[in-house]
């Protein structure tokens, strides 16, 4: 097999390097290895975020915090994720997916563990912010990396299946934390588990190559050719001659890179960017509110701490079946219809849960059904967002959308528990949030295109 890298060759009918990558057969020893390592990173991401739901009621009791003070545990973490999401998404578009992924794993592991050694809410919130800064970069970088190695025919299924790691991580957090707290009663023990993600860095360095689409965008043709040829050998595909067409020179990383990338996102398509930002803002606000505050709402309604943690762990665990259903349906229904229906239904379910929170026999069924349906919506949202932008903007496009969701999910609970719930009640407050989800879904159908079966592009030109 050989490749050609001349302007003349680029005008022939030969496939390009990106065509080769996106038309290869799926093999576990090739793309599957990257899916597994990226998925484990995503699993620990979910575990760390879900820790907020465990820590809020425990530290509220341990340090005698008000609801507003306790809200900063999750708020600081999610605001840190917002900053990290757009920062690392943009960095990944400049330094590479592989390096950015490894760094984010280290950052959120180190600062989560640092929380073990503090004894007051201020320092704890600072460490949760810094952990979130690393954590926020993991998701957009992860999806860009996995998506760019995945063949076009399987891309929707694989990117949707990636979200299966989230309920696994969130469920493990709930179950392990319930066991640790019930056995030893120490809130620090669940934090100590976060040393495990740091170990993944070694596997990233050993087994994950840099994205060939990123290398092509950077003009690093020799490295791109090496990765492409290796993928062809690993998948057992028939070697074919291909070209590496010239692409515009990628801009260098500067202090103005973040603002520049944001401007380019809106210039590429303001309609698409507005729609995806609204989807992330509303859907993830409702989800994170439930994930991080449902244990506290249940404890306030009379449930035991261990029961509350186990119930939310069950909510996360059953979400794995929602991801499986989403992965099966996403290529059949398209992204938009599956996302729109599941997002609106899940918002209605959590509103019903709030209404029946004082009816113990109704709580578990509603929690489980909600956990199932919301995990149909979220993986489709992530897969959809990662396909809407070209390679040069994919990491930052997902990163900025994710940042918007973290800001809303971070600041929102402060308003929710300190103002909305006292003024409107829990049920009405969730109903208002669900109404915003419906508005975002309408905007999606008006402004954002369907992406099922479409080819990923290098540039927006």
How many whole angstroms separate alpha carbon 34 and alpha carbon 146?
Answer: 6
427 CB neighbour count, 10 Å cutoff: 17
Percent of the chain with pLDDT over 70: 91
Please indicate, yes or no, if residue 238 is contained in any of the structural domains. yes
Q: pLDDT band at residue 377, thresholds of 50, 70 and 90?
A: very high
Of 343 and 383, the structure prediction assigns the larger pLDDT to 343
Assess if residue 410 is contained within a domain: yes
Query: How far apart are alpha carbons 363 and 356 in whole angstroms?
Result: 7
Long-range contacts made by residues 220-225, C-beta under 8 angstroms, separation at least 24?
221/5, 224/17, 225/3, 225/17
Q: What is the average per-residue pLDDT within 166-174?
A: 89
Q: Is the pLDDT of residue 54 over 50?
A: yes
Q: Is residue 134 part of a domain?
A: yes
Q: How confident is the model at residue 7 (pLDDT cuts 50, 70, 90)?
A: very low
Quote the percentage of the chain above a pLDDT of 90: 35
Q: What is the mean pLDDT of residues 416-429?
A: 93
> Element (H or E) spanning 12, and its range?
none
Q: What is the mean pLDDT of residues 138-146?
A: 77
Spatial separation of the C-alpha atoms in residues 373 and 71, rounded to whole Å: 26
* Lowest-pLDDT choice from 86-90, 241-245, 284-288, 424-428: 86-90
Structural domain tally of the chain?
A: 1
What local confidence, expressed as pLDDT, does residue 105 receive?
Answer: 82
CATH of the domain at 179: 1.20.1250.20
Report the run of H or E that residue 243 belongs to, with start and end: strand 242-243
Q: Which segment of 270-274, 379-383, 428-432 scores lowest on mean pLDDT?
A: 379-383
Q: Using 50, 70 and 90 to split pLDDT, how confident is the model at 272?
A: very high
Q: What is the mean pLDDT of residues 167-178?
A: 90
Q: How confident is the model at residue 86 (pLDDT cuts 50, 70, 90)?
A: low
* Integer Rg of the chain from CA: 22
Average pLDDT of the chain is 85
Quick check: 1 pLDDT over 80? no
Alpha carbon distance 131, 111 (integer Å)? 5
Q: Taking each helix axis from N to C terminus, what angle separates 335-355 and 426-447, rounded to the nearest 10 degrees?
A: 170
Give mean pLDDT, residues 407-425. Answer: 87
Higher-confidence residue: 20 or 439?
439
460 assigned to some structural domain: no
- Residue indicated by tokens 């409702």: 286
Q: Give 256 or 349, the one with higher predicted confidence.
A: 349
Q: pTM for the complete prediction? A: 0.76
In a domain, 42, yes or no: yes
Of 46-60, 153-167, 229-243, 352-366, highest mean pLDDT = 352-366
Residue 15 forms part of a structural domain: yes
Q: What is the mean pLDDT of residues 363-388?
A: 92
Assess whether pLDDT exceeds 90 at residue 80: no
Residue 447 confidence (pLDDT): 95
Does any domain span residue 461?
A: no
CA distances from residue 236 to 26, 28, 29, 228, 233 in whole angstroms, order as listed: 10, 12, 10, 12, 5
Asked if the model's pLDDT at residue 5 lies above 70, the reply is no
**Is pLDDT above 50 for 10?**
no
Does position 241 have pLDDT exceeding 50, yes or no?
yes
Residue 460, pLDDT > 60, answer no
Per-residue pLDDT for 160 more than 90?
no
For 164, the domain range is 3-447
Q: Which residue has the higher pLDDT, 70 or 249?
A: 70
pLDDT of residue 142: 77
What pLDDT score does 9 carry? 44
Q: Specify if 452 maps to a domain.
A: no
Is the confidence at residue 461, as pLDDT, over 80? no
Of the listed ranges 107-111, 188-192, 255-259, the least confidently predicted one is: 255-259
Backbone angles phi, psi at 96, to 5 degrees: 115, 150
Greater pLDDT, 357 or 212? 357
Q: Which of 24-33, 129-138, 150-159, 370-379 has the highest mean pLDDT?
A: 370-379
Q: How far apart, in whole angstroms, are the C-alpha atoms of residue 48 and residue 169?
A: 8
Identify the band that residue 271 occupies on the pLDDT scale cut at 50, 70 and 90: very high
Flag whether pLDDT at 139 surpasses 90.
Answer: no
pLDDT at 404 over 70: yes
């Amino acid at each position: 097999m050989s490749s050609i890298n001349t302007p003349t060759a680029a005008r022939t009918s030969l496939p390009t390097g990106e065509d080769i990558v996106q038309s290869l057969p799926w093999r576990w020893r090739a793309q599957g290895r990257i899916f597994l390592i990226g998925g484990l990173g995503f699993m620990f991401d979910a575990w760390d975020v879900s820790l907020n739901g465990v820590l809020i009621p425990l530290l509220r009791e341990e340090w005698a915090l008000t609801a507003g003070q306790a809200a900063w545990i999750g708020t600081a973490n999610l605001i840190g994720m917002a900053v990290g999401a757009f920062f690392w998404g943009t960095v990944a578009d400049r330094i590479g997916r592989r390096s950015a992924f490894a760094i984010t794993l280290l950052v959120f592991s180190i600062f989560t563990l640092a929380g073990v050694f503090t004894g007051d809410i201020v320092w704890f919130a600072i460490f949760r912010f810094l952990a979130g800064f690393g954590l926020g970069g993991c998701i957009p970088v992860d999806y860009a990396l996995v998506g760019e190695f995945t063949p076009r025919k399987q891309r929707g299924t694989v990117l949707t299946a990636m979200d299966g790691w989230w309920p696994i991580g969130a469920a493990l957090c709930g179950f392990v934390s319930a066991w640790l707290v019930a056995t030893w009663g120490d809130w620090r023990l669940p934090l100590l588990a976060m040393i495990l993600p740091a170990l993944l860095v070694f596997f990233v360095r050993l087994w994950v190559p840099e994205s060939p689409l990123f290398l092509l965008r950077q003009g690093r043709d020799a490295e791109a050719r090496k990765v492409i040829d290796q993928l062809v050998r690993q998948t057992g595909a028939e070697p074919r001659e291909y070209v590496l067409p010239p692409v515009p020179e990628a801009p260098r990383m500067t202090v103005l890179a973040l603002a520049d990338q944001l401007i380019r996102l809106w210039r590429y398509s303001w309609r698409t960017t507005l729609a995806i930002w609204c989807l992330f803002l509303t859907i993830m606000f409702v989800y994170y509110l439930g994930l991080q505050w449902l244990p506290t709402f249940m404890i306030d309604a009379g449930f035991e701490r261990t029961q509350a943690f186990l119930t939310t762990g069950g909510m996360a665990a059953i979400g794995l079946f929602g991801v499986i259903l989403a992965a099966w349906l996403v290529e059949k229904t398209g992204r938009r219809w599956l996302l729109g229906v599941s997002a609106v239904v899940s918002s209605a379910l959590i509103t019903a849960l709030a209404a029946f929170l004082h009816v113990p026999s109704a709580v578990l069924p509603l929690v489980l059904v909600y956990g199932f349906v919301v995990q149909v919506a979220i993986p489709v949202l992530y897969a959809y967002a990662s396909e809407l932008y070209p390679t040069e903007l994919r990491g930052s496009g997902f990163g900025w959308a994710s940042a918007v969701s973290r800001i809303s999910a971070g600041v929102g609970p402060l308003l929710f528990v300190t103002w909305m719930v006292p003024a409107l009640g829990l049920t009405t407050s969730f109903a208002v949030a669900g109404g915003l989800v419906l508005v975002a879904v309408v905007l999606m159908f008006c402004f954002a295109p369907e992406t099922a079966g479409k080819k990923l592009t290098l540039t927006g030109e």
